[in-house]
């Protein structure tokens, strides 16, 4: 059972679109509103764990996964563009408060939706519910308990990036550094979108 937690921890807490968006929000001081985004991420993961935990992998159609990956990749690229463009066009100023270059308030709905569209979610869930759950003899009501535990970890991942961003934001005083960090977040998100598009869309079409 430790293997389940170790696997989930390694995948969930590595840099990904949801974690990077939370980090960016933390840098820009959007703590309270983004916590609802993190809750939405956890609830989206809970829904997926319960759905696939009790149905197995037979619901996973390759065409369905391809569609999710395509939409997810395009949406992440769109968010990266908004962050990067707003950072570039923001005029230099003397105060940190005027350097808000985020994509708007992240909320519960956006977190929930993005988790459902995140191909990384399926990388976490499918090996656990199809291999590790049966190997550990986890079934029936135990699936609910494990789904709640793993979903709380899914909530903790973007939350930890949010707090790291907030801490880093407090250490920065010059607006130009905020703009540079936002541009860096934008480039990272573009990389994630391209990686998803290549591995989960392009290669699947070959």
Ranking 11-20, 35-44, 89-98 by mean pLDDT, the lowest is 89-98
Q: Over 80: is that where the pLDDT of 161 sits?
A: yes
Ranking 18-27, 52-61, 77-86 by mean pLDDT, the lowest is 52-61
Residue 138 or 91, more confident: 138
Ranking 53-57, 138-142, 182-186 by mean pLDDT, the lowest is 53-57
Note the pLDDT of residue 153. Answer: 95
Note the pLDDT of residue 122. Answer: 81
CB 119 within 8 A of CB 196: yes
| Distances 44 to 3, 18, 41, 151, 198 between C-alpha atoms, Å | 22, 12, 5, 8, 24
Confidence tier at 190 by pLDDT (50, 70, 90)? confident
Contacting residues for 84 by C-beta, under 8 A, at least 6 apart? 182, 183, 186, 187, 190
Residue 140 or 159, more confident: 159
**42-79 tens-digit pLDDT:** 999 999 999 888 886 565 566 677 777 788 788 778 87
Beta strands in the chain (DSSP E): none
Q: Over 90: is that where the pLDDT of 39 sits?
A: yes
Please compute the mean of the pLDDT values over residues 75-85 and round it to a whole number: 81
Ranking 23-32, 60-69, 194-203 by mean pLDDT, the lowest is 60-69
Mean pLDDT of the chain: 82
């Amino acid at each position: 059972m430790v293997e389940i937690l170790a696997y989930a921890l390694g995948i969930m807490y590595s840099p990904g679109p949801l974690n990077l968006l939370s980090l960016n929000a933390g840098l820009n001081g959007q703590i309270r509103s983004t916590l609802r985004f993190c809750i939405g991420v956890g609830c989206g993961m809970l829904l997926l764990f319960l759905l696939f935990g009790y149905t197995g992998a037979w619901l996973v159609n390759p065409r369905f996964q391809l569609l999710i990956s395509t939409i997810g990749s395009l949406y992440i690229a769109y968010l990266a563009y908004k962050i990067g463009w707003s950072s570039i066009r923001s005029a230099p100023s003397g105060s940190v408060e005027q350097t808000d270059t985020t994509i708007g308030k992240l909320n519960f709905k956006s977190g929930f939706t993005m988790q459902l569209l995140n191909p990384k979610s399926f990388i976490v869930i499918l090996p656990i519910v199809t291999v590790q759950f049966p190997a550990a003899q986890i079934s029936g009501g135990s699936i609910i308990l494990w789904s709640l535990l793993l979903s709380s970890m899914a909530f903790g991942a973007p939350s930890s990036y949010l707090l790291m961003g907030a801490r880093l934001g407090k250490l920065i005083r010059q607006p130009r550094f905020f703009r540079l960090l936002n541009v860096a977040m934008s480039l990272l998100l573009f990389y994630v979108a391209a990686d998803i598009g290549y591995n989960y869309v392009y290669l699947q079409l070959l």
